[in-house]
């Protein structure tokens, strides 16, 4: 299987050498990747008018509740990982 790949000139093996070597040597640092994620992700904060609108609804649909739970979960992750 590997021999046909090498004979066809596929460069996937050469592309995998550096990441595999870094991981194998223990150079992989999860904090670096979390920091990169924190640069593009922000906590979701609702405005007062949005909060008032949600609270004022007689019956909030389940899909909205599920979305709000996901936002709360992501905000908790952000607090845990990005606010050191």
Q: Is residue 56 part of a domain?
A: yes
**What pLDDT was estimated at residue 38?**
76
Residues 46 and 9 in one domain: no
Please tell me the distance from the alpha carbon of residue 55 to that of residue 7, in angstroms, as a whole number.
Answer: 65
The terminus-to-terminus CA distance of the chain in angstroms comes to 47
Residues 48 and 83 in one domain: yes
Q: DSSP string covering 7-38, please?
A: HHT--HHHHHHHHHHHHHTT---HHHHHHHHH
| Number of domains observed in the structure of the chain | 2
Residues 48 and 16 in one domain: no
Residues 11 and 48 in one domain: no
Residues 51 and 79 in one domain: yes
Write the pLDDT tens digit of every residue in 25-75. 555 555 555 556 777 778 899 999 999 998 898 888 999 999 999 999 999
Q: Are 82 and 34 in contact (CB under 8 A)?
A: yes
pTM for the structure as a whole? 0.52
Residues 51 and 78 in one domain: yes
Tell me phi and psi for residue 59, to 5 degrees: -140, 115
């Amino acid at each position: 299987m590997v021999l046909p790949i090498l004979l066809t000139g596929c460069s996937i093996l050469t592309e995998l050498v550096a990441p595999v070597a870094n991981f194998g040597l223990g150079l992989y640092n999860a904090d670096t990747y979390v920091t990169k994620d924190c640069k593009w992700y922000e906590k979701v904060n609702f405005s007062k008018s949005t909060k008032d609108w949600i609270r004022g609804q007689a019956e909030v649909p389940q899909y909205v509740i599920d979305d709000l739970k996901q936002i709360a979960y992501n905000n908790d992750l952000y607090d845990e990982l990005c606010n050191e």
